[in-house]
Structure 1
């Protein structure tokens, strides 16, 4: 039950983050249609659709977790003998930590496998087909990036290597993004809010946000993509299944765009980014 409760907490945190990301995306879309009445009308419909899609998906995901919680796995307790009690006492704290980490890793792998099965004919598969269709029109295909919290930065690092012939590490990318956001606080903080109160971040919370970017595997989103584009002085194109075919960042910069894909339904644990390669560019793989 504890694991299910943790899953629900992770899901709720992701939902709050996705709502914040959507609001940032909506603000960016509104700016592009500022002086165009026709676009404004179309944008209102698009915004309503995106918000409705998210509400429905969030509700379905929460119901799925709650359904699991209502049907816990029965655990049979084994009698404790003097021998087993003695063995338990000999297990070191370090060993317990290793066993706990190993168990968590196994649970994460099982969750991913379970999600693969559940989505074989569900939202994940539908989303994948839509992204593949859009990539095909650009002569691209997906280059898979591991789902480990670093997916955005690994996708960008891969793109820099094949599109710009520049090798750059995930750690360096994270540090560059954190430093850029710190130095340009006034540009970013209006789009940042506390996930619990939805209030604008305090100075301490802002610093904590930047520290997490630099020192942990926290997921990256639209704000981090904007910072990456400005740090690297590269246009970045994000291909997704719904909404605009592609979201463009850094269009003012010259040179080939870094092409990545955004997936909402690939894993239950959170949104995901993959890289891309040319369909006939197998040598880049």
Structure 2
């Protein structure tokens, strides 16, 4: 009986390796397809589902073959670990006794894993449906329509706490201007420090609701300069003064706004998204549609 279990263990080990190899292949396939290419991502999901189904069917077939090879009488030969041997005396009785006790631990593990795989596939399908009707998807559609009317499209910016500054950096680069993330943060903090009276009335302690103390204000400015603190409208206001040009912010469900209208120049353009990621708000940049003729500017 121990020999038969060894064969089952070998097969289980092989199956685990094949599933691990498939997971690595799936991850490689996902990395090769841009997240904003919805058509290819949809096809990717179908291809991955097909690969997983084929592997599960292969494993099930191999399990059935193993069971069949172990179901003979006393004189039936078995191949275990590559060595032929005769079935042991009384093995049939032992198998009957085992069946009376219920499924083996190995079978329970296989059943549990199969159930987990089925549940995972179900969750993936549900997520696809939810994504099509979800807030993120709807927001993306509305923004795409707004931008298409202006021959623009979203340019994805990484979600790392620096997204607003990275989007501004990208817009400046598209207009031939060079200020990097570190410089933008440093100059924003410096401007806010120098104009505390303009910003303090809008800064309150989230716990007490009181206006910032002098120490809290200094920490706020240091966080802008030295950390990945998220930027918002106050920082955009400071940036318009630093850059001496307006900043336009496009939103899905609200009118577009322009900060720094006092500067009579072409604005740089950011996209503000409320539902882009699990943490919520996010800024992206924009770029010309690939089939649109360039006019020398972003908008």
Give me the TM-score of the superposition, normalised by structure 1.
Answer: 0.56
Q: Residue 137 of structure 1 is aligned with which of 149, 152, 160? A: 149
Q: Is the contact between residue 150 and residue 218 of structure 1 (CA under 8 Å) also seen in structure 2?
A: yes
Q: Residue 250 of structure 2 is aligned with which of 222, 226, 239? A: 239
| 2:295 is equivalent to residue 251 of structure 1 | no
1:29-52: CA deviation from partner (whole Å, max 9, x where unpaired): xxxxxxxxxxxxxxxxxxxxxxxx
The 5 A counterparts of 1:95-244 are: 119-163=131-175, 165-244=176-255
Shift of 1:277: 0.9
Question: Structure 2, unaligned stretches of length 5 or more?
Answer: 1-123
Question: Structure 1, unaligned stretches of length 5 or more?
Answer: 1-112
State how far apart, in whole Å, the 2-side matches of 1:199 and 1:281 are.
51
Q: Select the structure of larger CA radius of gyration.
A: 2
Q: Is the contact between residue 235 and residue 251 of structure 1 (CA under 8 Å) also seen in structure 2?
A: yes
Computed over aligned residues only, the root mean square deviation of the Cα atoms, in angstroms, reads 2.2
State how far apart, in whole Å, the 1-side matches of 2:199 and 2:297 are.
34
State how far apart, in whole Å, the 2-side matches of 1:120 and 1:208 are.
42
State how far apart, in whole Å, the 2-side matches of 1:186 and 1:119 are.
44
State how far apart, in whole Å, the 1-side matches of 2:182 and 2:163 are.
12
Shift of 1:265: 0.3
Q: Is the contact between residue 277 and residue 284 of structure 1 (CA under 8 Å) also seen in structure 2?
A: no
Give me the TM-score of the superposition, normalised by structure 2.
Answer: 0.53
Higher RCO by CA contacts (8 Å cutoff, separation 6 or greater): 1
CA 1:281–1:152: 2 relative to 1, 3 Å: farther
State how far apart, in whole Å, the 1-side matches of 2:293 and 2:270 are.
16
State how far apart, in whole Å, the 2-side matches of 1:249 and 1:241 are.
17
State how far apart, in whole Å, the 1-side matches of 2:199 and 2:257 are.
18
1:122-144: CA deviation from partner (whole Å, max 9, x where unpaired): 00011111111111222211011
SS of 2:133's equivalent?
coil
